Amino acid sequence: QVQLVQSGAEVKKPGASVKVSCKASGYTFTSYGISWVRQAPGQGLEWMGWISAYNGNTNYAQKYQGRVTMTTDTPTSTAYMELRSLRSDDTAVYYCAREFVVVAATGHFNGFDPWGQGTLVTVSS
């Protein structure tokens, strides 16, 4: 079955960096993009950006430009998200999600399915 398995919880100090991994299985890795979404405690969902597993092209949300790097490693079917200069308000669960695209007469529609189980990143001094 299609599955995304993320790395374990992290505790970081302010100013540090974190790199979360997302290992895909059950499908051809290079045929789909991966998005990263975060959720602060008790809050809603926030899209951080997307990477093509086919060619490595990225699209980052402006809010994270300069602070985030998304990469992929095709031989291991793994996507990575690195966030630098961590602050306390970066404390959140970080999810990876596979992007699917459906081509219809009215357009190309995409969504996220499945999602990884989430990685809690805690930023605290």
The residues binding another protein (CB under 8 A) are 35, 37, 44-47, 59, 61-63, 95, 97, 100, 102, 104, 106-107, 109-118
Angle (CA) 108-51-20 rounded to 5° is 135
Q: Of 95, 52, 86, 55, give the one whose Cα is nearest residue 68.
A: 86
Q: In the complex, what is the shortest distance from the CB of residue 100 to another protein, in angstroms, rounded to a whole number? A: 8
Whose Cβ is closer to another protein: residue 5's or residue 16's? 5
Whose Cβ is closer to another protein: residue 59's or residue 74's? 59
